[in-house]
Structure 1
Amino acid sequence: MEIVGCSSLQNLQALSTLLNPQPEPEDEDGETLNAAARLGPGNIGPKPTEGPPVTGAGVSRGKDIWSEEEVAEGSQFDDLGDPRPQPEYEVILKQSVGTEDVFLGLSGKDPSSMSCEALRVKVKLPGTRAADVVLDVKETFLDLRTPKYKLGLHLPHPVLGREGTAQFFSEKEELEVTLQMKRPLDFISGK
């Protein structure tokens, strides 16, 4: 009978681990973790400092990348290097009504914005020609650019950008953009 020697380093370490087992790590609930659960992505890099997250203006809160005060509303559409001024504009809600609505109230429409079908934006553009206007309409944003003016307008209601119309009045130097509103409850009312 031949006795196998313990000459290799790996065999000695395995024997040592067998005779002197290390205590298994436990999670927050006191349950023992298996070997696969011991390491994870959180074990890469330096260990975070312990303690409650510090809050306040300009100070990091937990795992936030930036604070809400650092991000301006609608900033993804702003071009801070563009010095062009914003033109005067007016947003008007439109509603198609007939005599049966006004005098008899047969259609159930009321003066609220929920009964409006369209949104009209009137923009005054003094010194501008129709050929100079560049207009882009998204569901909730209107982007208007001319050589003299720029307008980035968050719309009060979602619209169907492809179903809108735009008309430039040269004598008034005014652009009127009419957009059909995207109304979520139209399938219920049958309109």
Structure 2
Amino acid sequence: MEGLGVSSIQSLQALSALLSTQQEDEDDEDCKNVAACAQLGPGQIGPPPKTSKDKEVSTAYMKKNSKDIWSEEEVAEGSQYDDLSDPRPQPEYEIILKQSVGTEDLFLGLSRKDPSSMCCEAMLVKIKLPDTKATDVALDVREKFLDLRTPKYKLGLHLPHSVHSQEGKAQFFSEREELEVTLLMNRPMDSINLQ
């Protein structure tokens, strides 16, 4: 206490007095304004409403046509293929992520590749199609959606990663009755991450 001067002790006492009276005043105000608080409704929740001038400046999303309900970016890709009245079942499928690994990756660790899905370059979709011929398969691949139609099956698959829709490869194995679709993944940072 020797290091504290008289002014610092007086300052602490003044601060203590200020805080204690302020707390008592707040308690009294809460009791007095119960009627005012009871008149609040849902319209008073949140920030105050903006004026028309603020709305013009602060809108991040501008609709192209005032009669549009949503923009094309808001609609999930592949939703035009959803047909709830179609009775065809969905075939069994599995998605496997693939990456090209060489000896320099495996033994020497020269590249920055690891076993995670971020280092995968391709996606393999295996679809089991029993009692189907290769000529019966109609396949359409978009950036984030795969649509497969046969006389017996339909598959509308939202892909976990975006792909290059024009650079894929499909192969039908009649002995296994299985279609394998290999799709190259399209990631914005691939040129940096996979070197």
Q: Look up the match of 1:6.
A: none
* 1:138 aligned onto 2:146: no
Q: Look up the match of 2:109.
A: 105
Q: Look up the match of 1:176.
A: 180
In the TM superposition, structure 1's runs of 4+ consecutive aligned residues that sit over 4 Å from their partners are: 71-75
How many pairs are equivalent? 125
Q: Distance in 2 between matches of 1:128 and 1:159?
A: 26
Q: Is the 8 A contact 2:77 2:144 kept in 1?
A: no
Match of 2:161 among 154, 157, 160: 157
Write the deviation string for residues 91-135 of structure 1: whole angstroms up to 9, x where unpaired.
000000011111111111001111000000000000000000000
Q: Look up the match of 1:90.
A: 94
Q: Specify which structure has the bigger relative contact order, considering alpha-carbon pairs within 8 angstroms and separated by 6 or more residues.
A: 2
Structure 1 residue 190: Cα displacement: 6.4
**Structure 2: which amino acid aligns with 1:139?**
E
More strand by share: 1
Structure 1 residue 72: Cα displacement: 10
Q: Is the 8 A contact 2:144 2:159 kept in 1?
A: yes
**Structure 1: which amino acid aligns with 2:190?**
D
TM-score normalised by length of structure 2: 0.59
- What 5-or-longer segments of structure 1 have no aligned partner? 1-27, 30-64, 66-70
SS in 2 for 1:114: helix
Match of 2:132 among 109, 128, 131: 128
Write the deviation string for residues 130-180 of structure 1: whole angstroms up to 9, x where unpaired.
000000000000000000000000000000010000000000000000000
TM-score normalised by length of structure 1: 0.60
Q: Distance in 2 between matches of 1:130 and 1:90?
A: 19
RMSD value, Cα: 2.4
Structure 1 residue 186: Cα displacement: 2.0
Q: Look up the match of 1:53.
A: none
Aligned counterparts, 1:41-52, within 5 A: none
**Structure 1: which amino acid aligns with 2:170?**
A
Q: Distance in 2 between matches of 1:162 and 1:156?
A: 17
More helix by share: 2
Q: Distance in 2 between matches of 1:190 and 1:82?
A: 42
Q: Distance in 2 between matches of 1:72 and 1:187?
A: 27
